[in-house]
Amino acid sequence: MEPTQQKQTGWKPGKRDAIFLAIVAAVVLVLVLGTGERTTKPTPKDETHLSATSRAECLNCHSSTGVKPQPLGHTAADQCFQCHLQPEGWRGGK
Ligand code: HEC
Ligand code: HEC
């Protein structure tokens, strides 16, 4: 009677628990590593991009008819630098 009761109340990590913990650890690891890298490309730091100071200028080249169109399904959001890191030394005021 007594040994059985002890088995029921006490918790011993078994094989299934180990597998579960391993999966949790793997998911956490993937999430942590994933946040470390910035996936959106930064705005290039060249003369063209340092001197383009308005969205209209950006879209001269990056609209669907420009030399380097935004990908299909790209957001229509105005604030390019919110996602594409503003290059150091950018000459725009805002
Ligand atoms: C005169 C044309 C022109 C203008 C204006 C221009 N770009 Fe570009 N842009 C390009 C070209 C060409 C490329 C691809 C070659 C390169 O990486 O320089 C590019 C590349 C990019 C890329 C992708 C970089 C990569 O790694 O692939 C981003 C983001 C970008 N531009 C953002 C902007 C933003 C934001 C503006 C406005 C501030 C802007 N561009 C204005 C021509 C332009
Ligand atoms: C809400 C976030 C966001 C905003 C705002 C945004 N973009 Fe993007 N853009 C992305 C993502 C995400 C991608 C695709 C992933 C990548 O950059 O590789 C992309 C891709 C691009 C590319 C193609 C890069 C390449 O080499 O394939 C260009 C060019 C670009 N964006 C230009 C612009 C311009 C110009 C503006 C402002 C008018 C702008 N983006 C605003 C998120 C954004």
Ligand nearest to the CA of 60: 1
Question: Quick check: CB of 59 below 6 Å from ligand 1?
Answer: no
Q: Which two tokens stand for residue 47?
A: 């003369």
The whole model's pTM is what? 0.78
- If the chain, 94 residues long, is cut into consecutive pieces of 10 residues, what is the mean pLDDT of each piece? 59 87 93 74 94 92 94 90 92 72
For a pocket test of ligand 2, which of 74, 85, 94 has the largest count of ligand atoms closer than 8 A to its C-beta? 74
How much helix, strand and coil, in percent to the nearest 5, is found in the chain?
A: 50, 0, 50
* Ligand 1 atom nearest to 80, measured from its CA: 35
Ligand nearest to the CA of 41: 2
